[in-house]
Amino acid sequence: MSILLVNLYATFRGDWLGCTHRDGRHLLRSAPLCHLYLKGNAVLYTSRAALFADLAHDANSSAWVMGDATAAFNGIYVKSGASGSGSWSRLGDLPFSFVIATDAAGVYLPAVAANHMLVDNSTGTARESKTFPQVNDLLEKATWAFDNNTLYKSRSNKDRWLDSYRLGEELHFTGGGSTATDAAVLQALYNRAKAAGRGELILPRGDIALEAAVSIYEDGTKPIRIAGQGPNQTRFLNTSASQHFFNIGDAAQARSKDVVFEGLSLNAAVAQDNGGRGFCLRNTSDITFKDVLVDGLKNGWSLGEGASATNDVVYTSLDNCGGNSPGASSIPLVILGSGGILQVGGNTYRWNASGGHDFMQQLDTNWNWDGLYVYGQFFEQFRKYLVSNAKGIVNAEWTGGQVDRADIFFQAEATSGSNRDWNIHDVKILGFSGQGGGIGFLLSGTVESIRIAHNTFHGLHDACVYAATGNVFVEANEMVQCADLGASAPLGGSLVRIGQGRARIQGNWGYRPSGAPGSAYRYGIQWDGATYSQRSAANNVWYNFGAAAESGTM
């Protein structure tokens, strides 16, 4: 196959190739080749074989071969010999700069589609056509999979962005904790989010000073998450002693539910008085606190306090939360009023005090608390850990973890109701010489079925268990170096002391090494009052007691 190019006279000189029309106009220059005149019509061939088969050209005729499968055969050729005879010789490369390349690998490209992008697959062996949402999802998983303390999680960035409001973008937000106007700004932002059906409020890093309480009410039609950048990264500060940080729920409206607080701290910039509260919950259900710390507060959580009916606050979760509450206080860190099902779990943070503060107390004389579950928590030197001295706590399980240096670790002494169905097991209950650690369990009043099992009592100054009344089961506990005050202790230096109530003391083990804390311990079990047929003891082992294995008559 041949194609007529143009009627050219080409002259090759020593430093340039001048190609001109017959009328003498200059066309191009190139590198020096030789002194040669090309004449006739230049013809294009798609292969060298086609050129070699066509000898019907005069001597010195020129031709191009372009498109031959063998790259080296492409080029400029010149004819030697008369028309019909002779041969073609390759003179040089074609006068343009490109290389004809072949794809040795055989790359497959998908068909072109609207609003798609090419993405290498996970094995790096092929390219795939993906929609924009698919690409966005891949990027999120690869590079935007942030942890719990950042803005975005499992949903796509677009969905989360469109479903969020950001406090840091508000016009009147001050930040830095220097000017107390941020409660009004946050309140307005929450109200807009609720009205618009948004599902998330994103809080910035830094201090946020609250001049008043922020009220959160959500009827459950659109769950909402209030998310900071992590404890001690996003910090709320109070500005007055009696202030509430957050009021959650409303006693005058339908039950508020499905609210999550995550990744933030409450800090007492102003020392709380007895009226100050952190998170005050009323008429709520399914409220979750995750990665939340309270620092320097007398009260961090108030649940159903002052309610007018039973089960005011239900299904509350404290997950990976913690607190630091130095100083003396008559207000517990966690108040239990009317309600039930509180779960305290996770172990990222621990709870700290300095001996003058109770951790949790049920204090409503009209309504009890039904359902308390504490798992694997670690505590440092609270005055008391669990106190129920009002209407009472029903159904409680406290397991794992450690409590230390309390005056009374667990106190069940209801004044207007009963404490029933407690199971305290597999907990390290520790006291240290000269640093607190008085009575392990103090039980009186209406006590129904309290089980104390598989715990370790170590270094307590007084009784591990004292049950003046009620049903108590003390099973398979280890009691080491306890009752070191002996007869001078308020409860008389016994490891277990039982009054006039149903009791089973079984499979416990106690001892004291000579000269160590606990050296004044006198009895394994002390039975108070007259014999009582529903008291029993079996398979207990007491070593190195000061007076006798048991005192009194079972």
Residues 137 and 160 in one domain: no
Residues 54 and 124 in one domain: no
Predicted pLDDT at 495: 96
Least confident residue range of 157-166, 173-182, 235-244, 455-464: 157-166
Q: What is the mean pLDDT of residues 371-392?
A: 96
* Domain end residue (candidates: 342, 357, 381): 342
Least confident residue range of 81-85, 131-135, 296-300, 472-476: 131-135
pLDDT at 30 over 70: no
Residues 171 and 293 in one domain: yes
Higher pLDDT, 390 or 19: 390
CATH code of 259's domain:
2.160.20.10
Residue 388 is assigned to a structural domain of this protein: no
Residues 445 and 534 in one domain: yes
Which of the listed ranges 117-126, 310-319, 435-444 does the model predict with the highest average pLDDT? 310-319
- In this prediction, what percent of the chain has a pLDDT beyond 90? 68
Q: What is the mean pLDDT of residues 349-371?
A: 94
pTM over 0.75: no
Q: Which helix (H) or strand (E) holds 262?
A: strand 256-267
- In this prediction, what percent of the chain has a pLDDT beyond 70? 85
Predicted pLDDT at 435: 57
pLDDT at 536 over 50: yes
Residue 389 is assigned to a structural domain of this protein: no
pLDDT band at 105 (very low <50, low <70, confident <90, very high): low
pLDDT band at 385 (very low <50, low <70, confident <90, very high): very high
**Over the range 361-378, which residues count as b (16 or more CB within 10 Å of their CB) and which as e?**
bbbbeebbbbbbbbeebb
Beta bridge partners of 39: 61
* Tokens of residue 304, six digits: 């159903």
Q: How far apart are CA 198 and CA 192, in angstroms?
A: 8
65, 72, 118, 268, 416 from 103: Cα distances, Å = 22, 17, 19, 70, 89
In which region does residue 395 sit, left (phi positive, over 0), alpha (psi from -120 to 50) or beta (all else)? left
Q: How far apart are CA 139 and CA 468, in angstroms?
A: 65
Residues 316 and 424 in one domain: no
Residues 204 and 249 in one domain: yes
Predicted pLDDT at 160: 59
Residue 206 is assigned to a structural domain of this protein: yes
Residues 65 and 130 in one domain: no
* Domain end residue (candidates: 324, 342, 360): 342
Residues 121 and 157 in one domain: no
* Tokens of residue 5, six digits: 């190019």
Predicted pLDDT at 116: 87
Residues 453 and 472 in one domain: yes
DSSP 8-class letter at 452? E
pLDDT at 31 over 90: no
Predicted pLDDT at 257: 95
pLDDT band at 38 (very low <50, low <70, confident <90, very high): very low
pLDDT at 341 over 50: yes
Residue 367 is assigned to a structural domain of this protein: no
Residue 231 is assigned to a structural domain of this protein: yes
Residues 207 and 310 in one domain: yes
Residue 387 is assigned to a structural domain of this protein: no
Give tens-digit pLDDT for 320-336. Answer: 999 999 888 999 999 99
pLDDT at 25 over 50: no
Give tens-digit pLDDT for 50-60. Answer: 999 999 999 99
pLDDT at 161 over 70: no
Q: For all residues of the chain together, what is the average pLDDT? A: 86
Residue 315 is assigned to a structural domain of this protein: yes
* Tokens of residue 545, six digits: 């007691």
Q: How far apart are CA 199 and CA 37, in angstroms?
A: 83
Predicted pLDDT at 458: 94
pLDDT band at 125 (very low <50, low <70, confident <90, very high): confident
* Tokens of residue 517, six digits: 């804390």
Identify whether the C-beta of residue 243 lies closer than 8 Å to the C-beta of residue 274. no
Residue ranges making up the domain that contains 311 = 150-342
Residue 334 backbone dihedrals phi, psi, to 5 degrees: -125, 120
Q: How far apart are CA 205 and CA 232, in angstroms?
A: 9
Residue 132 is assigned to a structural domain of this protein: yes
pLDDT at 96 over 70: no
pLDDT at 227 over 60: yes
Predicted pLDDT at 530: 95
Q: Which helix (H) or strand (E) holds 192?
A: helix 182-196
Total domain count, the chain: 4
Predicted pLDDT at 135: 79
Q: What is the mean pLDDT of residues 70-93?
A: 92
Residues 198 and 266 in one domain: yes
Residues 182 and 329 in one domain: yes
